[in-house]
Structure 1
């Protein structure tokens, strides 16, 4: 049977596998789509181990909720942005998030050893290896975090189609649309400004002393003739300014009409409207590929090389 470009395109969209792999699978199965998918799965298993050393720095962040009090956030990486946009990969990441929100695993090893939510006969790791075989790229479940709150709620926010994901956890006696909207606004703030702490009370003395030593060196280099007592005051001022930038509640609320209202003041306003206090107890922010050294590749050259095969 003649293998057409349309058939290759259809199989690629179904599986996310590489163009040449799809063409070969269709050739081996005489154009039968179901058998071609099975061929990709079976013949890709041996290749999955070889792909494990390749850099996976693209991908997606996804969130799964279990009611208003439990949520999980996951980051699953792929090698290319092309795969990250593929529906097969996106559906897989959704499944990983669904696994995480039901999981009791304390670390990644335990998580990978769990029975896969969509097929209890295989583990999460085995399902990942199978997906690598089908898609044809190295994939990696890089991290997950599950959060719960007893008296309040958790809200989530996904930015950029999955480049950044945020969970915000709050204690409150009132969980209504006003509170949820406010917490979603704050989740957007976390996505945009990337705070490190909820408030300055959460900042360790070790961190403060470390930052003070850096600021001291900067101040002395900039003002070598100024006395130590003046420099000390300068350092305190700079440290306080820095803490306002890295502590969520002290940040200026991004939607503040006066350009001055802090997130803490905004929450006070929300509390008055809701009829009970709203206390942020934590947040989680995942950004796809953060901290991973990416490999520069030329996609056009890669396709050209494949076409020559």
Structure 2
């Protein structure tokens, strides 16, 4: 049994087909079939059978899928532990796109205290957080809380309660209206950060909560760029109220009086359970709940990059995805 064979099978089990696993691994379907066939022969179990357009795991296949993911995760952790033995500890961070753009001040404050730590930040949808942690492709996640049914193996703490407002140029037709119903915004041009829209945070969360289905969405390379476009009169954007404090004060942007706003959103820092998470990730999780971290986040602005953190660009056993204790701002 090899790690490559396990990886192939675990992906087939997770994605539901040999074709999808091959696409994820960027190999041919026969290559995945050969790897799975070798496991079937060695273990004496079919592992899965075809069921309609998908697959159904055998009892043995279900056990191997769970254990295989754990083995692959431990192998990745071992690789990174050995690599860090002679130098800095490395923390793999996954965060939703909008959260990643606000993490810079917090991460800089953390590395000021923990100089021997290297940080790698990778954007990921909130719905993928639990899998990223379980498979050890991420040591810690920042953003929405992982799915409730996965919290038995995940330790999560709230670190920021933020308020989101909908902003536009002062010349926008809605700028002087009061008590705007959310449905009225379906006809407006929405300006958002990189697609796809994540229903677990930001504009995607607001759309999901209100049932608003915007007809016109402009996607930008970053949330900071979307805000700049809103100030130029190109549409409306949902953003953290503290990130546009200066713009609201100068009235280069105005907050629209939309019913149900400000939208309150709670961000969490999540790791594996205390006995499974790397110590450096636990230290970062603890730091995120401190007054120092909250002050750094409150003073930061959207799009502020960390001087010590960088995008995760590395080769691992897995392909990369691709990416509050009190009232905060």
TM-score > 0.5 by shorter chain: no
Higher relative contact order (CA 8 A, sep 6+): 2
